[in-house]
Amino acid sequence: MNRNSNTAVSVGVRTRSLSQSRLRYISQLGVADIFVDHADTAEEPDEFNDRDGTDTIAVGPNQIPSVSELTAARERIEDAGLSFTGIQSLPYSMYGDIMFGRDGTDEALDQITTLIRNLGEADIPVLGYQWNPRSVVPMRTSPVETRGGAEATAFDYDELDDPDELAPGLDRAYTEDEFWENYQYFLETVLPVAEEAGVDLALHPVDPPVLESLGGIPRLFRNVENFEKAMDLVPSDNHGLKLCLGCFSQMGEDVTEVIRRFGERDQIVFIHFRDVVGTVPKFHETFVDTGNFDTAEAVRTLHDVGFDGPVIPDHVPKMEGDDDWRHRARGFTIGYLRGVIETVRSESSRTTQVAETE
């Protein structure tokens, strides 16, 4: 990916809506990169993002945006002074058959590779994805109140009705070996296309990263070791991580060590910057200036390893007066991250100047 040429960490944002008012607001926040939360044609919007399906890009089974549609969206974003950096994530409706090795796998792969080619032709460099049946297994349980009464999502394993019961729609439990085999087939098919198209694929952790299996479904990307296996399974310069700091924080990992581990290997495509209080099996999300890890130290580590991509607020608490997109909490998070990044950049610049004068 050659992402270590400089240390220009930037702040981006995920958004489903590409309305003029949304783009103006994002531009006013001073961010650079847009990751589009497509309007999935087969699934309901999740609880973590806005439900505005207008002025956006529809992606789903049998509805792959054309090169002209993607180009028009990119130009619309660029007209607002922003960059269409990537698609936030593939919907489960597009990769579910592949993950389970069901009929329809090859048709799904054909559609995903078409999307990758179209992104490349439209000069959109990133496609995020995950290997997580979000619509089958619950990501969160009851919400909680955090600072000032803001509402935050949470997960408590003890609140699950019957974690050993098969997830809806399954007739048997699947093994981890099966899932690894199906995942390898996915990589062997899509990565050569991504390399040819000049598109980077970015893998997100399973969320919540609890247990080896839940509801009969293996949860492959629940730990650092399995991410290393994913990167080594079919080596490619066009494959890396959508490094969700919140997920690794949920795992109980040292987030700065995780950044260093994958950053020094140049395997981080972009960052989901959020945090939680607690670890699996019980945690809740919180504001970016609180939580398990030190935000400034995480940014310093990104700077140290030469990461030069975007960090984006992922899930944010819902503040007083927020809309579905949680525009107030998202604006707070972006401002806080921009301040921390600028502080770290200034610290580094002063250190370099002192060293040069000695």
β-bridge mates for residue 271, sequence order: 243, 311
Task: Write the pLDDT tens digit of every residue in 99-120.
Answer: 999 999 999 999 999 999 999 9
Q: 207 in a domain, yes or no?
A: yes
Q: What is the mean pLDDT of residues 28-39?
A: 92
Quick check: 34 and 22 in contact, CB under 8 A? no
> Quick check: is 318 in a domain?
yes
- Residue 1 lies inside a defined structural domain of this protein: no
Banded pLDDT at 146 (limits 50, 70, 90): very high
Total count of domains within the chain: 1
Residue 295, domain CATH: 3.20.20.150
Q: How far apart are CA 301 and CA 289, in angstroms?
A: 17
Work out the pLDDT band at 162, boundaries 50, 70, 90.
confident
Token representation of residue 168: 């809806």
Within a domain: 5: no
Q: What is the pLDDT, as a whole number, of residue 2? A: 46
Contact 255, 245 (CB under 8 A): yes
| pLDDT level of residue 22 (50, 70, 90 thresholds) | very high
Question: Residue 6: pLDDT above 50?
Answer: no
Residue 159 has pLDDT above 70, yes or no: yes
Examine the pLDDT at 211 and tell me if it is beyond 60: yes
How far is residue 204's CA from residue 130's CA, in Å, rounded to a whole number?
Answer: 5
Per-residue pLDDT of 168-182, as tens digits, reads 888 999 999 999 999
- Of residues 56 and 203, the one with the higher pLDDT is 203
Structural domain includes residue 310 = yes
Domain that holds residue 68: 10-357
Neighbour count for residue 70 (Cβ, 10 Å): 23
